[in-house]
Structure 1
Amino acid sequence: MAVPSGSPCPVMEQHLRDRAPPLLTDLYQFTMAYAYWRAGRHRDTARFELFFRDNPFRGGFTVFAGLHDCLVFLRNFRFTHEDVEFLRSVLPPATDPAFFQYLRDLDCSTVELHAVPDGTVVFARVPLMEVTGPLAVVQLLETGLLCLVNYASLVCTNAARFRLAAGPRRKLLEMGLRRAQGPDGGLTASRYTYIGGFDLTSNVRAGFLFGIPVTGTMAHSYITSFTSLEEVQPHTLMPQNGDSEPVDLIALAKSWLSRISELLEANPRKIHEGELAAFLSYAIAYPTNFLPVIDSYSVSCSGLVNFCAVALALFDLGYKPLGIRLDSGDLCRQSVHVRRVFRLCSERFSVPAFDSLLIVATNNINEQSMTELNEKENEIDSLGVGTHLVTCTEQPSLGCVYKLVEVRGNPRMKICEDPEKSTVPGSKAVYRLTDAEGHPFLDLVCLAAESPPEAGVSRSCYPLSGKDSMITVTPAQVTCLRQEVFVNGQIITPLSSAAETRAKVQTSLQTLHPGHKRLHQPDAYTVALSERLHNLVSEFQRGGSGDGRCVFVN
């Protein structure tokens, strides 16, 4: 079978297939499927919707992510002989053996999926995915689809918020693999934080699988492993043009160290020789990628002085170092001091490029501290974020749900004592209404059989948070939010790369009104039901249903 345009390379395809096999689900999905099968209802056409009830992080928006993986999951959904034999061992002994043959022959060739495109900004209560097919099959898909969408959308949204907090200028580095919830959590985080707006990752495996730019230089352990200049081997470095003999970089750096110490009035006794040795050793190994961490001992008394000496030696040989990393203390204050020294060196030693060296900051950065950076004077060019990004410290779960809305063409509704947990019945279409300035202002959920809203034409609707109060809206533009993406066992939409989906996220975010993008106390976005759909919901709540039967689930 041909792979659609834009689909992953074979290694990535195998990775996606392996991470979400059909057995990655809850046992009760199989017990329900068996009960459907025993009752002869397993082939009944059913429709489920996937949505979430609240935007995460007390924010005004969410980024929908994970559709790519869901499509690969559906395309490869098939039980192996080993899968079925394991199920035989865990289901009750009274389970009819013919059910296991039914599972062995199962696939998603009769499943259809309509979904919001990957990377779209979405809002609470909007049905993001509609899954249609035989009741037993689409029931078995529930846990897998939720697993693939929940964390991907959560961490992608978290990354988008970090990007908004950082502003467009700064580069953002994801470095959370060592703090992530296991290897798969780390890979998923690296992929979807990149899609959400980060520029780079430290995760080499993610770079290999998903084409994400990777970066990294050194940790404090490299610095502290050196104690003296005698440990630097080799001593020499070939000038970049290669036209002359190798130069003793230690001697050259020591001569610069004397001049820098005099310029900065540094105390020679506080300059750590082991740190200088580590810098020199790394510079000899990577003269075009020299970006050391300078706070292993003291930034002002040792690290910055040693860096400037080695960096100036590299400039003498035709190389341009990248910059420095700060990993502790007052990052803003230190960055200002570092930039001042860079400018001083640039002017005093006539090295213009010294002033533009990068200042990278890391140190348990969260969204709040990143926001505060913009309120303080600082010279930070790039920020590395780990724990608070990949673990989504402020909110550990998005809370997507997967609910039945129709069986055999008849609407179904869950009605709870908690109105927030009630569902909206029936097959639906979702439209995004945009104002004259191009900002979306309302998502309208209609019955699929209804005529769509039209640009320039007024439409009555009922906001989900409006306590049955009707409003009238007139959109300047209307977009159908969901698309048909999977039919007859085939993916019918091009699979986007991580970079393409990343661009989609930024484009979608740019359309939002600033009030909806505020990180704190954002304006609430309106999601509304059409008049016909609202009337259907009211009929259910009064005790009736579209097919003449009362359907309550408490």
Structure 2
Amino acid sequence: LKVYAIREGDVVFSRVPMIRVEGPVAMCQLIETTLLNCVNFASLIATNAARMREAVIGKKPIQMLEFGLRRAQGPDGAMSASQYAYLGGFDSTSNVLAGINYDIAISGTHAHSFVTTFSSLDQLQFVNPKIQCKDGKDLKTRAVEYRKLLNEEESSNEGELTAFIAYANAFPTHFLALIDTYNTLDSGLINFMSVALALHEAKCEPIGVRLDSGDLSYLSQKCREYFRRVSQQFQVPFENLTIVASNDINEEILYSLNVCLLIDWLVDAFGIGTNLVTCQKQPALGCVYKLVAIDGLARIKISEEIGKMTLPGTKSAYRLYIHNNEPLIDLLVLDDEANESPTEKKKSRSLLEAKQVIRCYHPSNDLKRVDVVPDRIEPLLIKVQNDNMQKKKNSLRKEKLEKEDERVWDGKLVYKSPSLKERRAFCMERVKTLRSDYKRVVNPTPYKVSISKKLKDVMKDLIEKETPVRTIQ
């Protein structure tokens, strides 16, 4: 088999082939389901993650935390979701195994059930001897004293305070508290601050709070105001404590929060689970695997719906860039066009060279065509060559192939794939290069995918040849 593929993490548009497979027809058909299964879910999750990352772009960097393990489609789906959410731009995962296997940062908080386990300060047995507060007092004593200073009525939930002290005893330098178990502002926030002030005395800096219910915009604003007020009252550097927001967040909520908090991002991180790994907006991606040529002859699938008609022939994809390294159009070209002379190509405006006029045709609308003079042309499909390459030839070309980022199949895959971190960086950079109007949530500008004149002609000939014509009398 010969396989060509788009680099993992690249941006792909409708009608551009993600994978091209060449070989005996039976072998190519046998791997259809496997390839679609591997590509569809991974691309769906990475796309969803990238869209959510785009939704929080603002004045300061926002951390995106993947919390989807409990809601994912089984253990395998959870592992894939963690990996490809990270590739799409998320910063960390709550999936410990994925963090270990894929070298992804692990993040999370304690559960509500941990808080409800406690009901009284008398339940607190363990005292961390390494945490020494003012006057040699332990964390529990100082937290209770601070609670009295912050809330004279001591009306905040005692069990919640006990849980926070227990958690801080175990993780004194990673104290991020979930504060909505009973009442976010009148209990959770006060109890958190009581423990945070005591930790600060012991030279252990708290991280912040997590909001998991209610009006996230309003609550984050009130939390930030409280942090600033306490900072002034006690002369502590708590103005910029982290606020993490969760609670069934999706892309639309992120955009609405971005609008509400545009002047000053009050939230520092978002924890997203269900709507990330199950892709609420589009639960499945409809990639297809179609035969486009056999024995050197182009083939076509013609459908009642124009969008389901295939583009025939063995072809490659190129991205045409204009000034400022801006991608303008993706062009699909038949491979056998490479055999044409440069003179003929220039005449027909099909010479794929920078600074040359290239005519691009709409796949289905004959009235739409455009001449492009690109600054740069980039091939999108990377070769994954077959196992009958001559070893000597492979050895001589190895260094050159690696420089060209080609994957080489020589009985086994010998190309070293970039690390997940490198693929993530590549993905984020590719998304960044797109114009903002392509990425609008409402009424985005369609990115142009065009075909060459020869591919257009082959397509027309096949439609004429393969479709019956009715006679009406």
For the aligned pair, the TM-score class normalised by the smaller chain equals 0.7 to 0.9
Partner SS for 1:444: strand
Contact kept in structure 2, 1:173 and 1:384, CA below 8 Å? yes
Match runs of 1:354-393 below 5 Å = 354-377=238-261, 379-393=266-280
Match runs of 1:112-131 below 5 Å = 112-131=2-21
Q: CA deviation at 1:299?
A: 1.5
Alignment pair present for 1:338 and 2:226: no
Amino acid at match of 2:121: L
Q: CA deviation at 1:438?
A: 1.2
Alignment pair present for 1:283 and 2:173: no
State the distance in 2 between where 1:246 and 1:211 align.
40
Contact kept in structure 2, 1:159 and 1:193, CA below 8 Å? yes
Alignment pair present for 1:210 and 2:132: no
Match runs of 1:529-544 below 5 Å = 529-543=451-465
Query: How many residues are treated as equivalent by the alignment?
Result: 428
Q: CA 1:357 to 1:470, structure 2 compared with 1: closer, same or farther past 3 Å?
A: closer
Name which of 175, 181, 184 aligns with 2:67: 175
Match runs of 1:274-313 below 5 Å = 274-313=159-198
State the distance in 2 between where 1:245 and 1:209 align.
45
Q: CA 1:496 to 1:173, structure 2 compared with 1: closer, same or farther past 3 Å?
A: same
Name which of 233, 236, 240 aligns with 1:348: 233
Look up the match of 1:521. 443
Q: CA deviation at 1:424?
A: 1.5
Q: CA deviation at 1:371?
A: 0.6
- Structure 1: gaps (5+ residues): 1-110, 544-549
State the distance in 1 between where 2:359 and 2:128 align.
77
Deviations 1:299-356 (A, max 9, x none): 221111111111100011110011111111111111111111111111111112x112
Alignment pair present for 1:511 and 2:433: yes
Contact kept in structure 1, 2:146 and 2:197, CA below 8 Å? yes
Q: CA 1:236 to 1:128, structure 2 compared with 1: closer, same or farther past 3 Å?
A: closer
Contact kept in structure 2, 1:172 and 1:382, CA below 8 Å? yes
Partner SS for 1:356: coil
Contact kept in structure 2, 1:238 and 1:245, CA below 8 Å? no
Match runs of 1:34-183 below 5 Å = 111-167=1-57, 169-183=61-75
Alignment pair present for 1:437 and 2:316: no
- Structure 2: gaps (5+ residues): 339-350, 388-410, 469-473
Contact kept in structure 2, 1:206 and 1:212, CA below 8 Å? yes
Deviations 1:202-233 (A, max 9, x none): 00111121111111220111111100001112
Look up the match of 1:199. 91
Contact kept in structure 1, 2:128 and 2:170, CA below 8 Å? no
Contact kept in structure 1, 2:438 and 2:446, CA below 8 Å? yes
Deviations 1:425-455 (A, max 9, x none): 1111111001112111111101112245111
State the distance in 2 between where 1:282 and 1:218 align.
8
Contact kept in structure 1, 2:63 and 2:91, CA below 8 Å? yes
**What is the aligned-residue identity percentage?**
43
Q: CA deviation at 1:487?
A: 2.4
Q: CA deviation at 1:418?
A: 2.3
Look up the match of 1:92. none
Partner SS for 1:491: coil
State the distance in 1 between where 2:367 and 2:384 align.
34
State the distance in 2 between where 1:202 and 1:184 align.
15
Contact kept in structure 2, 1:113 and 1:487, CA below 8 Å? yes
Q: CA deviation at 1:492?
A: 4.9
Deviations 1:444-486 (A, max 9, x none): 1011122451111112221125345332222121111111024
Amino acid at match of 1:455: A
Look up the match of 1:472. 371
Name which of 383, 399, 404 aligns with 1:484: 383
Q: CA 1:469 to 1:340, structure 2 compared with 1: closer, same or farther past 3 Å?
A: closer
TM-score normalised by the chain length of structure 2 = 0.87
Deviations 1:279-302 (A, max 9, x none): 111111110111111111112211
Alignment pair present for 1:409 and 2:293: no
State the distance in 2 between where 1:155 and 1:330 align.
27
Amino acid at match of 1:407: I
Name which of 435, 456, 462 aligns with 2:361: 462
Contact kept in structure 2, 1:462 and 1:471, CA below 8 Å? yes
Contact kept in structure 1, 2:131 and 2:138, CA below 8 Å? no
Look up the match of 2:76. 184
Q: CA deviation at 1:245?
A: 10
Partner SS for 1:121: coil
Give RMSD over aligned pairs. 1.8
Q: CA deviation at 1:256?
A: 1.1
Q: CA deviation at 1:117?
A: 0.6
Deviations 1:41-97 (A, max 9, x none): xxxxxxxxxxxxxxxxxxxxxxxxxxxxxxxxxxxxxxxxxxxxxxxxxxxxxxxxx
State the distance in 2 between where 1:366 and 1:461 align.
37
Look up the match of 2:394. none
